[in-house]
Structure 1
């Protein structure tokens, strides 16, 4: 049973927000008036026209191509008119002609530079938007209902300077119960998405094949190692993946293996408990560890909820550097349903950090035993 959660749809080109036309006109006219006023007070308006040369260059870094062209043409007209109406300032006609030619050359260069900048920004944003759309489609929509569990939650990739993240999750129904994965790939951007896809693909295949969680984790680790070997051939950095893998079946106890990931929280009878598990090494680093991955068993009673998160939630900081107190805020929301809890925590973390703060990718899952058990 699948149901799509409404998500924010943003055009990637909306990330490019040039100043309004009115602001550009007001700014250019204001600078021109200021320069002319200073020129009148100093009785050397022609020399001070050199200050206007910087206007097109500034516009090329902030404005659209049309706005930059407007600024360049405006500057050119002001320089020509001033040079023609003020011939008696002790400046030779050769210098005046050179000033006009320099203004024209700098204006044309500014328009060209603006064109190159905007085209590069559009291409990069389209590329990142395509990868983000692919990631949205590969990650299963929530909530997810199986015979064993109801999984709900949210995934929010960061949408400031990067549109793509490395947080992953998945749910697979296997012959040995429902298996849940949540993970976080080291790094951000397109290379991190490649590693994320490798882990998800391996999880969906091995979850049906491997009868034990240890064998499943070994398969996931091997997938990251293979991905790193391909990445090394193309000059990309090797990456590791922190992950938490669960297996829930009809028995009262569930199984988990923590591969260097954020510990999960167990909510039951209005209390919040952090099950104490042994933490293994992240996926991709198993050969560096002398100890193999081990399975931890814990009681998962009916009516209890497991909260799984990535470090995008736990490492959220306020303006003063204080980390978001997950356990404390979770204790205040134990009465919320599993469907409401992830969004409530996410909204509270955003409020805690403040609108001007940097936000990492965030994945939050709530896992509750299926009501049909």
Structure 2
């Protein structure tokens, strides 16, 4: 699969991942350290209260049974050491009572933690099913194109967000959609599902790309509040060598041709989907040549508006110029990794990248597998960052 969803938890530093297996043993090590200090120092009751650290820490790393075992071990060790050091019975009884109290509280906390983890796992499994229904996996080849998608939800435990994409092969050619819903959370996910659903149906039924956009607009007008909207780019490849683009208030796609990165800017501004009734303007259809070797990158503003510590935006055009090659998967992976490095490892907004590459005759496979529904003026103006594209070897 060329789709590669990412989530915040996947960006933990490797040192934490390496340390995780020893965490359940840490309470035992702490109890052992207290015993060792007491035996060496012979300091009576001075160190025994620290034995409560064992069951308290076990509550964060073990189940209730593990907490109980660590607590009983700490209490037994405390009693033996207290008697050995000649501690007063009243003081020793207080220490042991505190150990038992911490152990029981730890058992309760551990049970509640495990329950929350089970609930979270169930929610995440439902979210994953929703992701596969909304953002269906994209095959590596769709029609004549090589395709790659990279999607990252900003929420650490989220599988989907307000960004959306779709790519389908229809009787009218390959059609694709990348968009961004205003807002976040479940309402944004619901709107994204609505847009993708209408697009997939209309793309198969309507021969004209503007009619596809109009159907999405009508559906949103019936279902969105007056202050909600969706920015989107809808594109199609109706015939060899020709690409159609309809931009509804979205960031311009980036076209890579002859080693130059060119933004496909709209000839006139078009309002986002859901706001046509307020503006009275209709979107326009741009037609541009798309020849063998050309590449097109569609993306959301979570990529271009990502800032580093110096509050500098990520320069996507320059990054694409550095990493563009004939393997879309390698390109979007390199862009995604560079984006994460730019923001310090964690995105604060959903981000989606969808890249198409038209293989040359030498690169094209002998046959193309049947495409399935996928999860997701001209370009003659001066390119932003007209850098030469490096050609990478095929993997």
State the TM-score bracket (shorter-chain normalisation).
0.7 to 0.9
Q: Is the 8 A contact 1:5 1:141 kept in 2?
A: yes
Highest RCO, 1 vs 2 (Cα 8 Å, sep ≥ 6): 2
In structure 2, relative to structure 1, the CA distance for the partners of 1:88 and 1:370 (3 Å cut) is: closer
Q: Which digits, 9 at most, give the CA deviation of each residue in 1:129-172, with x for residues without a partner?
A: 332244135514223423xx515012333497224122322123
- 1:266 has 2:255 as partner: yes
Cα offset, 1:104, TM superposition = 1.3
The reply to whether residue 309 of structure 1 matches residue 286 of structure 2 is: no
Do the aligned partners of 2:177 and 2:235 also contact (CA within 8 Å) in 1? yes
Q: Report whether the alignment pairs 1:111 with 2:101.
A: no
Distance 1:6 1:136, change over 3 A: same
Aligned residues: 348
Structure 2 CA distance, aligned partners of 1:117 and 1:161? 18
- TM-score, normalised to structure 2, is 0.71
SS at match of 2:193: helix
CA, structure 1 residues 315+337, in 2 after alignment: closer, same or farther (shift >3 Å)? Answer: same
> How far is 1:58 from its partner?
3.4
Residues 179 and 250 in structure 2, CA contact (< 8 A), matched pair in contact too:
yes
CA offset at residue 361 of structure 1?
Answer: 4.4
1:70-97 residue CA offsets vs partner (Å, 9 max, x unmatched): 33223322333344445554xx63x644
Distance in 1 (alpha carbons) for counterparts of 2:274 and 2:209: 16
Match of 2:159 among 150, 153, 164: 164
Q: State the Cα deviation string for residues 285-322 of structure 1 (Å, max 9, x = none).
A: 545x3233411414223132211122343244445543
Aligned-partner SS, 2:239: coil
State whether structure 2 residue 336 is matched by structure 1 residue 346: yes
Q: Tell me: CA distance 1:332–1:68, structure 2 relative to 1, closer, same or farther (3 Å).
A: same
Task: Report the CA distance shift for 1:74/1:228 in structure 2 as closer, same or farther (over 3 A).
Answer: farther
Q: 1:245 is matched with which residue? A: 234
- Secondary structure of the structure 2 residue equivalent to 1:81: helix
CA RMSD of aligned residues (A): 3.9
The correspondence of residues 294-333 of structure 1 with structure 2, limited to 5 A, is: 294-303=283-292, 304-318=294-308, 320-333=310-323
Give the match's secondary structure for 2:279.
Answer: coil
* Aligned equivalents of 2:258, 2:326: Cα separation in 1: 12
1:291 aligns with 2:280: yes
Shift of 1:263: 1.8
Separation (CA, whole Å) in 2 of partners of 1:199 and 1:31: 61
Q: 2:30 aligns with which of 27, 32, 36?
A: 27
2:355 is aligned, of 350, 363, 366, to 366
The answer to whether residue 149 in structure 2 is matched with residue 154 in structure 1 is yes
Alpha-carbon displacement from aligned partner over 1:231-289 (angstroms, at most 9, x marks no partner): xxxxxxx96433211132227653322233332101111111112214544444545x3
Q: How far apart, CA to CA, are the structure 1 residues paired with 2:320 and 2:282?
A: 29
Change (3 A) 1:189 1:292: same
Change (3 A) 1:113 1:254: same
TM-superposition CA deviations, 1:81-136 (whole Å, max 9, x none)? 344445554xx63x644543342132112112112112212321332133224413
Q: Which residue of 2 aligns with 1:77?
A: 76
In structure 1, runs of 5+ residues without a counterpart are 230-237
Question: How many angstroms apart in 2 are the aligned matches of 1:68 and 1:175?
Answer: 63
Closer, same or farther: CA 6–261 of 1 in aligned 2, 3 Å: closer
Distance 1:73 1:44, change over 3 A: closer
The answer (yes or no) to whether the contact 2:6–2:153 under 8 Å persists in 1 is: no
Partner of 1:249, secondary structure, is strand
Structure 1 pair 261/75, CA: closer, same or farther in 2 (3 Å)? farther
Distance change >3 Å, CA 360–CA 85, structure 1 → 2:
same
Q: Show the counterpart of 1:254.
A: 243
Q: Would you say the 8 A contact 1:18–1:62 is kept in 2?
A: no
Q: Give the distance between the partners of 1:198 and 1:98, measured in 2 at CA.
A: 63
Instruction: Find out whether 1:207 has 2:208 as its counterpart.
Output: no
Query: Where do 5+ consecutive residues of structure 2 fail to align?
Result: 365-395
Contact kept? 1:164, 1:190, Cα under 8 Å: no
Instruction: Check the 8 A contact 1:342/1:366 in 2, yes or no.
Output: yes
